[in-house]
Amino acid sequence: MRNTLTALVAILSILAFGSCVPQKKLILLQNNPKVEDQGNADELLRSFNLKPKIYTLKPGDVLSLKVQSTTAAEYNFLNTGIATAGQTDPVLDGYTLDTEGNILLPAIGKVNLNGLSMPEARIKVTEALKPFLTDPTVNLRLLTFRYTVLGEVNRQGQFTTYQDNINVMEALASAGGFSSYSNRGKIKLVRYENGQAKLYNFSVLNDNTLALSNFYLQPNDMIVVDPLPAKNIRENMLANVTLTLSIASTIVLLFTRLAQ
């Protein structure tokens, strides 16, 4: 009986100590850290040729258009906005591309932006404004770049960005980063293209991911982070084992006392 009790205590001790992390591996910016495998910030490890996908505008996109000009402010017909609940709603205040990819501007009319990148669209809008405004400077932003992050992150949900070249790491960061049990080696990317849902798998443990074209998101992409098997072990199996060991140790103690 005593040998059994000793074994149970040993198993529980191993489980407890196995989950401990030394403080020296947690405290940031230590004066004299004595930790192995530290990085050197001035040492270049590798270089990667990035492959960002240039987003081209399509019907249904909503754009924010801000124009600065040397023309007197009272004649700048683009300085308007729609107020919602005391605030300005960026999407309602934007310009929606119609079914042919046209943006409809006051006094100017339709300007076709279908298939253009954001820099190309900015140039085309600028040229369209020159006959009406003096030295126009156009600031054009995409308002409908949304993406979804689900699974083992700290803040699931749908997010909107005003940049058109956000990458996977930035998207995960906006969702609060990984949870304790996220599977960083197998992350799903769901992309909707031409009436199809396309599924990709990638790993952020591999630094070659930086050079992949799918490292950069497209509007309406969905990222799904699966849990590690350890989550099931910790939340189900380990809990059951701990309960079983506790019951067993109690029974052993009772029999030991009765045997005395």
pLDDT (tens place) for every residue of the chain, 260 residues total:
555 556 555 655 555 555 555 666 567 667 777 777 677 778 888 898 888 888 899 999 999 888 888 776 655 666 654 444 445 556 667 899 999 999 998 888 999 999 999 999 999 999 999 988 888 889 999 998 999 999 999 999 999 998 878 999 999 999 999 988 888 988 999 999 888 999 999 899 888 888 998 999 999 999 999 988 765 555 555 556 666 667 767 776 666 766 66
Query: Could you tell me the pTM of the whole model?
Result: 0.69
Which part of the chain has CATH 3.10.560.10?
145-227
Note the CATH number of domain 145-227: 3.10.560.10
On whether the CB atoms of residues 104 and 95 are closer than 8 A, the answer is yes
Positive or negative: CA dihedral 86, 88, 92, 93: positive
On whether the CB atoms of residues 81 and 152 are closer than 8 A, the answer is no
Instruction: Look up the CATH superfamily of 62-142.
Output: wza like domain (3.30.1950.10)
Q: What is the DSSP string of 179-202?
A: -TTEEEEEEEEEEEETTEEEEEEE
On whether the CB atoms of residues 132 and 73 are closer than 8 A, the answer is no
Which part of the chain has CATH 3.30.1950.10?
62-142
Measure the CA–CA gap between 51 and 56, rounded to whole angstroms. 15
State the maximum Cα–Cα separation within the chain, in Å, rounded to a whole number: 104
Beta bridge partners of 137: 68
